[in-house]
Structure formats: structure tokens, C-alpha cells
């Protein structure tokens, strides 16, 4: 039996046949893959508990004719902290659904893996912070929202759907502060004189445009991107912005995402 190893994050888990599991996994080496785990739901199955959603795990898979089979799973992190925090775990579910719907199988991008991994570690760390000190809640919520917004904008970038926020998507004039709007149909900002071109466009505040620019992808090389992630996540605590505004931009970015993938992201309604 020919096998291969990969590290991945389990993004979706469904029942398959009587005792099997069907898993969607975002892997470092192959991008998103789908694989089956036979007998994983049996009480004594050796994989039981090693293939839950969110897990970061080292996998061994056997090549199959139509689908590969997971033969071993060694859990690296189970993110137990955020699993016990309802609000943060709902954010984590949203993130998994978003990554799943914005990626296609066997299209490898190590940056997507690193981004998702970083986000899950960060959310786990936030949950720990709340457990240790309940007064940290407002600060944690701000960082929680900023991290989700950052992930949305980066996923849009990495999938080639990044909204244009530097120039008007209609006349190409530079966007300056003032009465601009976001157009989902045209994929970015419209300036005041072009806003009539899309009746569905919604108002884009200067702060919203600034934050989208700030979180836009700046590194394309895998290693540089990892460093960029580390640095950016550390800065979330220093950004002065109201939660309400961050959430407003999250909801706008969610609409860009849904427009581009042409599917609803169900988990969005649990975020607010």
C-alpha cells in the first residue's frame, strides 16, 4: 500500500457510510484535500477522537482509486481553549467555513495553511486570556474581530478577489477621503461621482477604506508571509478602532466573499 504524509487542519467532517468519516482537510503540502477514515466512528476505532474539526494533525494517507484513506493521525494541537468559549468557537467555525468555500481541492497555497493555522492559534490564545482575566474581555473582543477581518481580507487577496480600494473601479481616479462607496458587483470602491453606477453600492467610510488597505496582502513569498502574519497579529491590540466599525467592515467583506464565491457563508449570522 503506497502512502504519504502531510500536516493539515480538519475543516469539515461528515458521516460516510455506516462507521466511516469523510473529511475535508486543508494541508500544508497539497492544499485542500478530501479523504475518508474507515471505521473511525466505531467505539474502538484507533482514529476515534483524532479526526475532529479544527485539529491540527500529522496525517498518513494511503492512495486510493477514487479517494485516499487516512491510516494515521497524530494530533499537534486540539485548540481546547476556544472550544470552551462559545463566542470564539463560533468565530472559528466561520473561519473554517470561509476557507472551505473559498478554496478548491488540490490547489496548493501554503499561505492559506499558515493563515488558517495562525488564526486558530490566535483564537485559542484569546480564549486563554479571557479565562485568566475576565477584565480582558473588551480587549479580547476587539482582537477577535480584527483577526477575523484580517483573515477575510487575506483570503480575498489569496483567491484573487481582493476589493480595489485605492482607485475608483469605474473611472480609475485615486480614492481620496469623502463620500465613497463599496460596490460588490464592480469589486471595490466607487468615488462620489461614479456612485450612481451601482445602486446596490453601500457607503464606505474613510476608516473602513483605511483598515482594508492596512490589512491587504503585502508579502507573496511563503516565508515572508509567515513573518508578516506574526507581526500583524501582534499589532491587533494597538489598533484604535470601535468594535462596531470593525464588525461593519467584517459584514461588508463577507458580502464581497459571498458575491465572489456565489455561495452563502452560513456561519456569518452567528458572528455578531
Q: Among residues 67 and 172, whose Cβ is nearest to Zn ion?
A: 172
C-alpha span between 222 and 227 (Å, rounded): 9
Q: Among residues 123 and 168, whose Cβ is nearest to Zn ion?
A: 168
- C-alpha cell at position 112: 492559506
DSSP-derived secondary structure for 48-111: TTSS-TT-EEEEEEE--SSSEEEEEEEEEE--HHHHT-HHHHHHHHHHHHHHHHH--BT---HH
Q: Among residues 168 and 253, whose Cβ is nearest to Zn ion?
A: 168
What is the layout of strands, in order, in the sheet containing 180-183? 188-190, 180-183, 202-204
155-164: burial string, b at 16+ Cβ within 10 Å, e else = bbbbbeebbb
Q: Among residues 157 and 191, whose Cβ is nearest to Zn ion?
A: 191
Q: Which residues pair with 20 in a beta bridge?
A: 16
Contact string (CB under 5 A) for Zn ion, positions 175-204, x = contact: ----------------x--x----------
Q: How far is the CB of 162 from Zn ion (least distance, A)?
A: 18
Q: Among residues 119 and 191, whose Cβ is nearest to Zn ion?
A: 191
Q: How far is the CB of 167 from Zn ion (least distance, A)?
A: 8
Backbone angles phi, psi at 169, to 5 degrees: -70, -5
- C-alpha cell at position 63: 492512495
Q: Residue 132: CB partners within 8 Å, gap ≥ 6?
A: none
Q: How far is the CB of 181 from Zn ion (least distance, A)?
A: 10
Stretch that binds Zn ion, among 97-105, 134-142, 144-152, 167-175 (CB under 5 A): 167-175
Choice from 103, 147, 170, 189 touching Zn ion (CB under 5 A):
170
Pairing of strands 3-16, 20-27: antiparallel
C-alpha span between 135 and 78 (Å, rounded): 26
Residues contacting Zn ion: total by CB under 5 A? 5
Stretch that binds Zn ion, among 163-171, 178-186, 204-212, 264-272 (CB under 5 A): 163-171
Taking residue 32's Cβ as centre, other Cβ atoms within 10 Å add up to 23
Choice from 36, 51, 146, 168 touching Zn ion (CB under 5 A):
168
Per rule CB under 5 A, is residue 127 in the interface with Zn ion? no
C-alpha span between 182 and 170 (Å, rounded): 12
Contact string (CB under 5 A) for Zn ion, positions 44-83, x = contact: ----------------------------------------
Per rule CB under 5 A, is residue 157 in the interface with Zn ion? no
Interacting residues toward Zn ion by CB under 5 A: 168, 170-171, 191, 194
Amino acid at each position: 500500500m503506497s502512502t504519504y504524509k502531510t500536516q493539515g487542519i480538519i475543516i469539515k467532517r461528515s458521516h460516510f457510510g455506516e462507521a466511516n468519516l469523510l473529511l475535508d482537510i486543508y494541508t500544508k503540502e497539497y492544499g485542500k484535500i478530501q479523504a475518508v477514515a474507515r471505521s473511525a466512528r466505531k467505539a474502538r476505532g484507533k482514529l476515534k477522537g483524532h479526526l475532529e474539526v479544527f485539529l491540527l494533525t500529522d496525517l498518513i494517507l494511503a492512495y486510493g482509486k477514487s479517494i485516499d484513506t487516512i491510516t494515521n493521525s497524530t494530533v499537534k494541537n486540539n485548540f481546547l481553549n476556544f472550544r470552551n468559549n462559545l463566542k470564539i468557537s463560533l468565530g472559528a467555525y466561520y473561519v473554517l467555513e470561509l476557507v472551505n468555500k473559498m478554496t478548491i481541492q488540490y490547489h496548493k497555497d501554503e499561505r492559506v495553511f499558515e493563515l488558517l493555522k495562525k488564526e486558530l492559534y490566535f483564537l485559542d490564545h484569546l480564549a486563554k486570556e479571557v479565562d485568566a482575566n475576565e477584565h480582558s474581555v473588551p480587549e479580547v473582543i476587539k482582537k477577535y474581530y480584527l483577526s477575523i477581518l484580517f483573515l477575510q481580507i487575506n483570503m480575498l487577496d489569496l483567491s484573487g478577489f481582493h476589493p480595489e480600494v485605492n482607485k475608483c473601479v469605474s473611472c480609475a481616479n485615486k480614492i481620496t477621503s469623502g463620500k465613497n462607496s463599496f460596490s460588490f458587483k464592480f469589486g471595490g470602491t466607487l468615488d462620489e461621482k461614479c456612485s450612481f453606477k451601482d445602486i446596490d453600492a453601500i457607503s464606505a467610510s474613510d476608516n473602513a477604506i483605511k483598515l482594508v488597505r492596512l490589512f491587504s496582502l503585502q508579502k507573496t513569498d511563503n516565508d515572508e508571509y509567515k513573518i508578516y502574519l506574526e507581526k500583524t497579529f501582534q499589532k491587533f491590540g494597538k489598533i484604535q478602532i470601535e468594535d462596531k466599525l470593525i464588525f461593519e467592515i467584517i459584514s461588508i467583506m463577507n458580502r464581497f466573499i459571498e458575491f465572489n464565491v456565489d455561495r452563502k457563508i452560513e456561519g456569518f449570522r452567528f458572528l455578531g
